[in-house]
């Protein structure tokens, strides 16, 4: 009898249990009248999010209040660049705040229609370093594959706006095959970054085709995927997607949070799903006027990222792309932000501040000066508090470089620059190669 009673109790409990609908969004999206009849199941479906992207000013005005000046600004911007905003990301905007950081990143501004003297169509010269269609090979051991021109949201600060959002197309298999063919015949490439657009806009099947082709190349050790979907459409990080990608480890994920407001329960769920499946996640923030050009905001962002298992990786100086001059800050702003982070928060929360040098010069790290002077036997340093100290050095040091097996591995030998000079006593001067000189142009 006792066993029957227990069984009856379990059955009754199971009968009362209701299915739980998982909500990605930490906001009440139904506060927007146009979405009051949208079910949670629809909202949490990334295909619904894509089907309901906001692309016109008329759609935008139905969802968020805009002044006449803002409407005209959107129209002016859309004459040059396209707009696409996911409902999820739009729902994070505070309509009462005219300079809401999410709004600034997603809703076009009339400032985008202004051409500045410093603007460049391709500031990073990616097209110049392209030995195969939509593939950039700039650094010796790394290559960048652009596999789509599509994003779930077209960020207003995008550096590739000459390509992204232009015609909403993925690269064909024919182009992917040309990229793969180049990688196969270039053994020095050990690290491949898959980007776009956003590669997670490909179907799971097409994405697996790309990743599997890269993973099959023997000399490719690391695959990186650059995506902003955990920020602007976290419901794209499905169990199915994560399970598929897990077959091709090691894969690193680089994402793009710019403000602590973007760290929602939805984003946390997406990043933790990736982290729990073995994907290290790095974050690349763009420094933008009005969005995050404040040491307090950056501190909140960087420490907040660590709580959702995302490692701050880079802070980028805003590039010289066309139509984004209103976002750019002086480089001194970025240096002061690093000064406010170094020593004041965990080293895990301190990214590297870089300027992606115009003309294809690559990422140049910029930071406060902590080395005040150096002379034989001593170096004068300062710490984050401004305390100055002397580090004494002994004179009997002898480098072990040249005695290890790795020293004879050609993959690790520097081919140019100061690193080459440090190991080659016959190299007395450094200058750009003819190919590099042609690309970066004459001195100003």
Place of tokens 């202004």: 114
Residue 318 appears among annotated catalytic residues: no
131, 259, 297 from 304: Cα distances, Å: 39, 10, 10
DSSP states of 243-266: HHHGGG-SEEEEE---SGGG--HH
C-alpha 3/C-alpha 416 separation (Å) is: 78
**Residue where the block lists tokens 């905007």:** 93
142 is catalytic: yes
160 counts as catalytic: yes
The residue annotated as part of the active site, out of 160, 224, 228, 236, is 160
To the query of whether residue 155 is one of the catalytic residues in this protein, the response is yes
Structure tokens at 437: 């000189």
> Catalytic site residue 319?
yes
- Which residues share a beta bridge with 282? 254, 311
CB of 440 within 8 A of CB of 361? Answer: yes
Catalytic-role residue among 30, 138, 184, 436: 138
61, 75, 119, 139: the catalytic one is 139
The Cα 63–Cα 294 span in angstroms is 29
Alpha-carbon distance of 106 to 100, in angstroms, equals: 10
Burial 163-177 (b: 16+ CB within 10 A, else e): bbbeeeebbeeebbe
Scanning 17-98, the segments in alpha helix (DSSP H) are 40-43, 46-51, 57-63, 68-78, 87-90
Catalytic residue among 161, 319, 328, 353: 319
Q: How far is CA 444 from the centre of its chain?
A: 31
Question: 139 catalytic, yes or no?
Answer: yes
Q: Say which of 55, 363, 436, 439 is annotated catalytic.
A: 363
Q: Tell whether the torsion through CA atoms of 403, 408, 409 and 411 is positive or negative.
A: positive
Alpha-carbon gap, residue 110 to 51, rounded angstroms: 26
Catalytic residue (one of 29, 151, 156, 318): 151
Report DSSP state, residue 112: G
Instruction: Provide φ and ψ at 49, rounded to 5°.
Output: -60, -45
Set 55, 116, 142, 436: catalytic member: 142
Residue 411 falls in the annotated catalytic set: no
Which of the following is catalytic: 155, 156, 161, 182? 155
296: CB partners within 8 A, 6+ apart: none
CA quadruple 368, 280, 222, 158: dihedral positive or negative?
Answer: negative
Catalytic residue status for 356: yes
370 carries an active-site annotation = no
389 is catalytic: no
First-to-last C-alpha distance (Å) of the chain: 94
Residues belonging to the active site: 138-139, 142, 151, 155, 158, 160, 319, 356, 363
């Amino acid at each position: 009898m006792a066993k029957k009673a227990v069984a009856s109790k379990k059955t009754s409990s199971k009968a009362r249990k209701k299915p739980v609908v998982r909500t990605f969004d930490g906001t009440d999206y139904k506060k927007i009248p146009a979405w009051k009849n949208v079910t949670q199941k629809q909202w949490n479906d990334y295909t619904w999010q894509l089907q309901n992207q906001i692309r016109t000013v008329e759609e935008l005005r139905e969802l968020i209040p805009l002044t006449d000046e803002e409407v005209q600004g959107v129209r002016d911007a859309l004459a040059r660049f396209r707009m696409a905003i996911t409902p999820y990301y739009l729902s994070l905007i505070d309509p009462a705040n005219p300079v809401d950081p999410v709004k600034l990143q997603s809703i076009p501004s009339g400032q985008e229609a202004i051409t500045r003297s410093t603007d460049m169509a391709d500031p990073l010269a990616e097209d110049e370093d392209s030995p195969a269609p939509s593939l950039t090979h700039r650094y010796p051991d790394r290559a960048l594959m652009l596999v789509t021109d599509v994003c779930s949201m077209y960020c207003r600060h995008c550096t590739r706006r000459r390509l992204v959002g232009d015609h909403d197309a993925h690269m064909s298999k024919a182009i992917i095959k040309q990229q793969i063919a180049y990688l196969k015949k270039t053994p020095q490439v050990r690290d491949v970054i898959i980007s776009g657009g956003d590669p997670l806009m490909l179907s799971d099947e097409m994405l697996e085709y790309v990743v599997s082709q890269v993973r099959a190349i023997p000399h490719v050790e690391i695959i990186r995927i650059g995506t902003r979907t955990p920020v602007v459409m976290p419901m794209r990080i499905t169990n199915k997607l994560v399970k598929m990608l897990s077959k091709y480890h090691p894969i690193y994920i680089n994402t793009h949070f710019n403000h602590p407001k973007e760290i929602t329960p939805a984003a946390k769920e997406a990043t933790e799903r990736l982290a729990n499946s073995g994907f290290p996640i790095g974050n690349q923030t763009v420094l933008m006027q009005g969005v995050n050009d404040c040491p307090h905001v950056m501190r909140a962002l960087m420490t907040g990222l660590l709580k959702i298992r995302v490692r701050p990786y880079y802070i980028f100086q805003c590039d010289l792309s066309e139509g984004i001059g209103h976002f750019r800050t002086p480089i001194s702003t970025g240096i002061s932000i690093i000064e406010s982070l170094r020593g004041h928060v965990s080293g895990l929360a301190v990214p590297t501040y870089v300027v992606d040098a115009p003309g294809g010069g690559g990422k140049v790290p910029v930071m406060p000066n902590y080395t005040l002077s150096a002379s034989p036997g001593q170096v004068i340093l300062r710490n984050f508090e401004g305390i100055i100290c002397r580090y004494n050095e002994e004179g009997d040091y002898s480098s072990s470089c040249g005695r290890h097996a790795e020293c004879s591995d050609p993959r690790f030998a520097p081919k140019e620059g100061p690193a080459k000079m440090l190991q080659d006593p016959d190299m007395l001067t450094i200058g750009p190669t003819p190919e590099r000189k042609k690309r970066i142009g004459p001195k100003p």
